Structure 1
């Protein structure tokens, strides 16, 4: 795309989200909310496009990017998954380079919110309004 420019956020990321359960004794595997590939492209006008996907599903991303210290991204993912509409809202920040950090991998960190309810695959409904934390680490630019 000729109108894109490379920022700290552009690239392909490994995405993982976790439920915000404060119980320290909770099994780590029980905290998983989602995992996916996350592709972000930012344009010089501050817009953001891309996709978040895994096997069998994909959401199209639209939103904005604001450079800064840290850079801020806000975007919405929407699509049809197994015949039902899915919409999720994301807000995250580009993790700055840590002074004296060794082999630091570029990362994003933020929150994801389920904007509308959708079937959960077990005959029930995943409710709107659920908020989880997420991080993503860079695979490639």
Structure 2
């Protein structure tokens, strides 16, 4: 169940996009990642969970703040195909719009992600470098 103090807890449909300013770039060419984001709150008040999709999953750990923007930061880490992957995430809960309603506005997170360490790319001999930053959004699937 979603905590009134923690809007991040729940299961989210996650999509991330490369930050390419060229409007001629095909939308499909902007995809950085997609998967299911599951966020829980442990007894100490820290965020835990997982993010993953077919063939990959990272364990999450982080925290959240209080305030009107309700920020959170967490780190995803795991071993994928024998290699360590580490990504850092920053997210904000999209505020409820006063002219909307629960049937018109699905809860969403917006934020950015950065690759902390390099790992092999999807094509043989390629490397996904550290430091790449992408934007993401996640839409609540369930509390």
Q: Could you state the TM-score of these two structures normalised by the residue count of structure 2?
A: 0.92
3-state SS of the aligned residue for 1:29? helix
2:12 aligned with 1:13, yes or no?
yes
2:118 aligned with 1:84, yes or no?
no
Q: Distance in 2 between matches of 1:5 and 1:29?
A: 32
Match of 2:138 in 1: 136
Match of 1:120 in 2: 121
Q: Which runs of 4+ in 1 moved over 6 A?
A: none
Q: CA deviation at 1:67?
A: 2.5
| Maintained 8 Å contact 1:52/1:61 | yes
Q: Distance in 1 between matches of 2:97 and 2:12?
A: 19
Match of 2:65 in 1: 66
Q: Could you state the TM-score of these two structures normalised by the residue count of structure 1?
A: 0.93
Length, aligned pairs only: 138
Gaps of 5+ in 1: none
Match of 1:94 in 2: 93
| Maintained 8 Å contact 2:2/2:10 | no
1:45-94 CA-to-partner distances (Å, cap 9, x unmatched) read 44110000111110000010112211111000000011110000000100
2:49 aligned with 1:50, yes or no?
yes
- State the superposition RMSD in angstroms: 1.5
